[in-house]
Amino acid sequence: MEQLTIHECHRRLTAKEISAVELTNAVWAQKEKTEPQIHAYLSDSYETALAAAEAVDADIARGEPISPLAGVPGAIKDNMCMAGQPVTAASRMLEHFVAPYDATVIAKLKASGLVSLGKLNMDEFAMGSSTENSAFGPTRNPWHTDHVPGGSSGGSAAAVAAGSALWTLGSDTGGSIRQPAAYCGVVGLKPTYGRVSRYGLLAFSSSLDQIGPLTRDVRDCALVMNAISGHDPKDSTSIPGEVPDYTRALVADVKGLKIGVPEEFFGAGISAPVKDAVQAALRFYEEQGATLVPVSLPRAKYAIAAYYIIAPAEASSNLARYDGVSYGMRAAADNLIAMYKKTRSEGFGAEVKRRIMLGTYVLSAGYYDAYYLKALKVRTLIKEDFTRAFAQVDVMITPTVPDTAFRFGEKIDNPLAMYMEDVCTVPVNLAGIPAISIPCGIAAGLPVGMQIIGPNLSEETLLRAAYTFETAHPEYTRMPSQEAMG
């Protein structure tokens, strides 16, 4: 059962071929089997999950209709609040903190019959590209446990790939859904900024963060998006208006679709196996009746530099709340200032400290105009590049990441090399537009990810393009072998 998709589970549940309790126990057993090697989870909620599954079974027994997600076991990245459950952001700072309320996405999922098996590992406060920055140990890639699963939603991607959750939620600030989705061979969607409420998400960079799904296939992605999308008055950046039924977009037809191919994403730094796989996918689309259009995003090369000024600046502001006073860790000290220093020194890891210091520096007197203000202007220019390109095309296709998953320890001591892992994904966050990563190949036993990018609120077009490719290439949606997971 751990290999089923959401839509397959829903069909079997409603046909009474399986029960939600049986399904929950089967996926839990897979979790217990794979966790010693993969370490995707930070906390468990088996009893809560079982009670939720029993409630779904009772609804089915009474003949009541259930939502597509009802009774299907998933799991949540550990930076989203779920009342009564730990929310640590993989940091010692919040090691013993229990969420007092539900994030909006959790409230929506509970209304859809949520069965959550627990909270998932991540880079501390979502700052990282490998899940090596978790204070509670790294998550491993189910395809090859010597390799990273990506980050910061590494636990979310690894759990889906390993079958220890049938779907998960992640968050994406500079690629943190799409990059681990690519490394672990699953589907990951970063929605349009504001399409999914951020209320109850522990903030990293408020103008960039967005919650989204990681799933086994594209249909599952659409189903989770249906459940979590929509306007929320508790989030001032939330987009008003009705949300479409994303499953209606799942048509294997791209005839007449104009696909932009940005030259900047296929040059130096992109490995040959990744480039070859994505170019083969582009040829497939052309054979299916789509038109390939060369486009240019000339300012995209400045995206990493701008991002690593804007995101740390916002992190510096957002993480100032973790001071040992209101909640979270408090270190013993003789006076208030010493307590602040000791709490933050002991509570935050090295990467979080690095980004807080960078952010504080670029916001400080004398440097604000030279760095932060200039980065905001560059962000505007990058958005203008996308706007011009989308005047010519419906979507753009690029590699999700420059290469397949790298080995543990390869880049952890080289922050710049680690930051460059997000070179294909960061421009999308700066522009606030949606993008999806889907598996498009295998290179040396590891998955290759393809990124499909669209203009604001074009999730339906992205899902149609992704579904068309996936339908013709079912071999890329398979799970890694049990042997690979140890």
Segment 33-61, tens digit of pLDDT: 999 999 999 999 999 999 999 999 999 99
Q: What is the pLDDT of residue 486?
A: 66
Catalytic residue check, 258: no
What pLDDT was estimated at residue 484?
75
Determine, yes or no, domain membership for 362: no
Q: Rounded to whole angstroms, how far apart are CA atoms 205 and 399?
A: 24
Give pLDDT, residue 28.
98
Supply the pLDDT for residue 136: 98
Give the chain's residues under pLDDT 70: 486
DSSP letter, residue 10: H
pLDDT at position 415 is: 84
Looking at residue 327, its pLDDT comes to: 83
Nearest to 151 by CA among 408, 459, 462: 408
Instruction: Note whether residue 363 is domain-resident.
Output: no
CA–CA distance, 306 with 139 (Å, rounded to integer): 29
In-domain check, residue 97: yes
Catalytic residue among 31, 45, 67, 77: 77
Model pLDDT, residue 353: 97
Domain count for the chain, please give it. Answer: 1
Q: Tell me which DSSP letter residue 196 carries.
A: B
For residues 163 and 160, give the distance between their C-alpha atoms in angstroms, rounded to a whole number: 5
Helix (H), strand (E) at residue 395: strand 395-399
- Domain assignment of residue 248, yes or no: yes
Q: Which residue is catalytic, options 129, 152, 205, 229?
A: 152
In a domain, 355, yes or no: no
366 in a structural domain: no
pLDDT, residue 231, reads: 98
| 458 part of the active site | no
Is 77 a catalytic site residue? Answer: yes
Range of the domain at 150: 6-256+435-477
| pLDDT, position 290 | 98
Which one is catalytic: 176, 197, 205, 238? 176
Provide the residue count of the chain.
486
Evaluate whether residue 39 is within a structural domain.
Answer: yes
Backbone angles phi, psi at 206, to 5 degrees: -65, -25
What are residue 196's DSSP bridge partners?
A: 229
Cβ within 8 Å of residue 321, ≥6 positions away: none
Inside any domain, residue 293 = no
Q: How far apart are CA 467 and CA 237, in angstroms?
A: 29
Question: Which three-class secondary structure state does DSSP give residue 11?
Answer: helix
Find the CATH number of the domain harbouring 85: 3.90.1300.10
